[in-house]
Structure 1
Amino acid sequence: MATNKTIKHRRLHTAQRLISPVNAPDFTHFHRRQTLSGLLFISPWIVGFLIFTAWPMIYSAYLTVTDYDVINAPRYVGAANFQQLIEDPKTTIALGNTIFYTVLQVPAHVLVALGLALLLNHAGRLSGFFRTIFYLPNMTPPVATGILFLLLFNGHNGLLNKVLLRFGIHGPAWTTDPNWQKPGLILMSLWTVGASVIILLAALRGVPQDLYESARIDGAGWWRRTWHVTLPLVSPSLLFVVVSGTIGALQNFDVTYTAFFGAGSNSSYTNDAVLFYVIYLFRQAFEYLHFGYASALAWMLFLVILAITGIQLAISRRVVYYEGRS
């Protein structure tokens, strides 16, 4: 009996020794090697991020509390830049113009992109050709787009007003009338709607066809199928287009600056109606050399974008449908 117990004890001890962590594979060492390899692969991006993104952000945060004109060393001024930001009437005008532009441009962009995507979804073999046509304007440099805006929307001999005149409509002075400058820029922004069209078209292609068949059997028409089937299933892509479009609209700069503030623009066209926030920020920094004040403007814009994006994401929890989420 004692011998049998001794044998069982030895077998148990041997089994425990074989499965002990000492004899198990060294997963920790393996994971460290995997992590190191991954970091080496992405090290160029990390270096670029630290040099061209992280460090400029840190330095601009420092400049917000200084008076800096590039020529002289930064001089500490405390919260004077932020106080000036609050009291500066131009900041209020620029922020108001930017919000007005965003509120009108983003819905127009989304509606046009969704409409074109719905059309392309039924284009058959020609959808590839039209996808390319719609995306090509995105390859146009913004400076060229700004010049094109002046040519197309010229109040006297622009192409748009010539087309309107054929229908008996006398078009406004898009480039000189302050009441029509922002609507003209909003219309021109639809020139680059192609990227959003491709994103939404990909989402439409992912909608299961059996859902449409079930809706048809239940007697649902095109509008009800679109409202109750299509829109909920493409809502994540719509959210992406809305959020990215809002961020882009709040940073509107290149086309407007080229058309109204560039070296070749007519100074008589320059007025507060098209003074957007980033344009005002740019002019404070690179025309007036107020880099401390411009940094304060930049961080204020960052907080505004962060707040608006947070609100959009909070609302999306109720209106965006994610398949598989209860």
Structure 2
Amino acid sequence: MTRQLTSRLPATRDGGPAGNPAPVRRKRWSARSRRDFFVFLALALPNILLISVFTYMPLINNVYYSTLNWTLGSANATVVGLENYVTFFTSRDASKVLGTTAVFTVATMGGSMLLGLLLALALNSKVRGTTFARSAVFAPYVLSGVGVGLVWLFIFDPGYGVLSWILRGLGQQSPQWINDPQLSLVMVIIVYVWKNLGYCAVVYLAGLQSLPQDVMEAASLDGANGFKRFMGISLPLLSPTTFFLLITTMISSLQAFDLIRIMTPLGSGTSTLIYEAYLQAFGAYNRAGYSAAISVVLFAILLVITVLQLRFAERKVHYS
């Protein structure tokens, strides 16, 4: 009976019954597939090698250096394991450095994004001179951080600075921006926000110009004013732009170095993680292993915050 049923099944091309098809053989790579693969290797391999040599290898070496008790310039080093990390987190300056890093990052990130959005709304209007205004706003972002720091240091100097001269003309005394640790941090935050304001404004401006105009016109016909259109339509549709700026500005703020180095060489009140690592390695201590440990801590913080943003913050993003 089984043989009769099997013989009645329609046959496939290879002669077997349709109910039990023969296993599909994988086709070998065609000449075109091999050619595309080699073209991909030719284009991607140089970039992969460069990233491996100049990014991943220094990262691995830095993790190894963080386990050493090594004085910069010395030919000898002692493996101490996690002692550098324990020393950092149990030191008196750890909470101060981490707190300064958090305040600087949040203030510069929030200030740049908020003011950049407001500036983008102003630049999005169709009035004469907006092209020049957009160029002028973006110009500080491409300027050298050293040059910007020197110019603003001259402005904030309490003795002969421009701001001090204006305040003296008004009968007021200039604050000690450089000598006061708290004011030094405020000074650096102001300059950093000013320098990166144009970047956020231009990115937000591109997002505003890509919004669907038919939706905005429909909301306007329904009686929604400008503020309601912005809060209910524009701001949610700008969530991909906001998410992009949230990640890029956070990474940039955590890696800020040039302005801090120029405006506060001793790091009084402005010792962020990256600047503390610089001071420990190239300052009076020459503690290369300890500095490497601080750099690894900074990398871990960057990695964790970025993963959390990708994991949770992206849920609030509307891509359509």
TM over 0.5: yes
Opposite residue 275 of structure 2, the aligned amino acid is I
Matching residue of 1:319: 316
Matching residue of 1:4: none
Alpha-carbon distance in 2 for matches of 1:213, 1:164? 48
Aligned length: 302
8 Å contact from structure 1 (residues 93, 272) kept in 2: no
Displacement of 1:220: 1.1
Alpha-carbon distance in 2 for matches of 1:119, 1:160? 27
1:226/1:169 CA distance change after superposition, 3 Å: farther
Matching residue of 2:274: 278
Opposite residue 245 of structure 1, the aligned amino acid is T
Displacement of 1:43: 2.8
**Aligned counterpart for 2:57 among listed residues 38, 46, 55:** 55
8 Å contact from structure 1 (residues 236, 321) kept in 2: yes
8 Å contact from structure 2 (residues 157, 178) kept in 1: yes
Alpha-carbon distance in 2 for matches of 1:218, 1:163? 50
Unaligned runs of at least 5 residues, structure 2: 1-10, 16-21
TM-score between both structures, scaled by the size of structure 2: 0.84
Matching residue of 2:286: 289
1:44/1:169 CA distance change after superposition, 3 Å: farther
Alpha-carbon distance in 2 for matches of 1:77, 1:25? 55
Unaligned runs of at least 5 residues, structure 1: 1-8, 14-19, 262-269
**Is residue 44 of structure 2 the alignment partner of residue 42 of structure 1?**
yes
Displacement of 1:115: 0.9
Opposite residue 54 of structure 2, the aligned amino acid is F
8 Å contact from structure 1 (residues 174, 184) kept in 2: yes
Matching residue of 1:230: 234
Alignment of 1:182-201 (within 5 A): 182-192=185-195, 193-201=197-205
Matching residue of 1:6: none
1:164/1:231 CA distance change after superposition, 3 Å: farther
TM-score between both structures, scaled by the size of structure 1: 0.83
1:173/1:96 CA distance change after superposition, 3 Å: same
8 Å contact from structure 1 (residues 81, 296) kept in 2: yes
Deviations 1:197-222, CA, capped at 9 Å, x for gaps: 11111111100111111111121111
Alpha-carbon distance in 1 for matches of 2:173, 2:229? 40
Matching residue of 1:30: 32
**Misfit runs of 4+, over 4 Å:** 24-29, 161-171
Matching residue of 2:208: 204
**Aligned counterpart for 2:105 among listed residues 102, 107, 111:** 102
Name whichever structure is richer in helix by fraction: 1
Matching residue of 2:69: 67
8 Å contact from structure 1 (residues 97, 275) kept in 2: yes
Opposite residue 278 of structure 2, the aligned amino acid is F
Alignment of 1:116-265 (within 5 A): 116-124=119-127, 126-163=129-166, 171-192=174-195, 193-261=197-265
8 Å contact from structure 1 (residues 91, 280) kept in 2: no
8 Å contact from structure 1 (residues 68, 290) kept in 2: yes
Of 100-109 and 118-127, more deviation after overlay is shown by 118-127
Alpha-carbon distance in 1 for matches of 2:170, 2:214? 45
Deviations 1:95-145, CA, capped at 9 Å, x for gaps: 111111112221111011111111111145633322221121122211112
Of 160-169 and 206-215, more deviation after overlay is shown by 160-169
Of 118-127 and 194-203, more deviation after overlay is shown by 118-127
Cα root mean square deviation, aligned: 2.8
Alpha-carbon distance in 1 for matches of 2:172, 2:31? 75
Matching residue of 2:3: none
Displacement of 1:26: 5.4
Alignment of 1:76-87 (within 5 A): 76-87=79-90
**Is residue 91 of structure 2 the alignment partner of residue 88 of structure 1?**
yes
1:237/1:171 CA distance change after superposition, 3 Å: farther
Displacement of 1:163: 5.0
Opposite residue 294 of structure 2, the aligned amino acid is L
